[in-house]
Amino acid sequence: MLRKRKNRPRASPITVTWFCTVLIEKIRETQQLRMDVQDSEKFRVISELTGVFAHEIRNPMQVSRGFLQLLDEPDLPYRQKEYIKLSIEELDRANEIIDDFLALGKPSNSTYGTVNVSEQLKRTASLIQTFNVNQQVEFQTDIQDDCWMRADPQKLNQSLLNFLKNAVESMPNGGTVSLSCHKTVDGHIRLTVKDQGIGMNPKQVQRLGSPYYSLKEKGTGLGMMVSYQIIHSFKGKIRVESEEGVGTEFDIEFPGAEP
């Protein structure tokens, strides 16, 4: 006598798809967590190494720079004075690269607070103008007061300084840098830095913020990479529009905050 098999409930295709989707997502999360732990350990080692190397390299650099300044006497021939000047400039550039490496490898000990971006932008623009009086660069500002956000003031200044410095350096023959800062309708803070420099093609724009990518002849790209990381750490978004021979515009948007 044959027994009739009971009809077992079958899982619907929708249920199976949902289950697989959840399972795949959980696997990805587990893999990402494992990678984050590994990256965290690598980051700690890099941080320690950069600190040690920076200290060991800077000591002989400072000694060399000091002796070069002592050798730079008024009665030296012009060519020798140029050699000394060039050597000091290269030592200073190497020191800036070390600073970028330290910023890249240093663990984040950010001190967050409510920051007025308007004041920070005005202060940074004044600083850049002071150091670039001979470059025939004019600043035009349209900055609304009381644009508040949550950020580390020191790191925000570092990123703003880099964006403005790059804008000035992109115009070797002079030009205008336009700065604006406003609140948007949805309560965000929108900051714009626009220059009339050499500009970039789409491929160059896409690579901005990548490690060791720079359009400067002697650039490392670390400054822009660190600036991008800082903006993203404040939950900011960066949009870049550029045209070769016309200029570049950086449009940066942050979540707003109450003062």
Residue 19 is predicted with a pLDDT of: 46
The bridge status of strand 175-183 relative to strand 137-143 is parallel
pLDDT value at 135 more than 80: no
The Cα–Cα gap between 139 and 167 comes to: 11
Look at 122-131, 156-165, 217-226 and tell me which has the smallest mean pLDDT.
Answer: 217-226
Q: Which of 213, 177, 216, 210 is nearest to 194 (CA)?
A: 177
Q: Where in the chain is the domain with CATH 1.10.287?
A: 11-107
> What is the average pLDDT across 227-242?
90
The bridge status of strand 189-194 relative to strand 175-183 is antiparallel
> What is the average pLDDT across 107-118?
76
Residue 116 is predicted with a pLDDT of: 93
The Cα–Cα gap between 237 and 244 comes to: 23
pLDDT value at 177 more than 90: yes
pTM of model > 0.75: no
CATH entry, 11-107, from 1.20.120, 3.10.28, 1.10.10, 1.10.287: 1.10.287
pLDDT value at 127 more than 60: yes
Level-2 CATH architecture, domain 113-254? 2-Layer Sandwich (3.30)
Q: Where in the chain is the domain with CATH 3.30.565.10?
A: 113-254
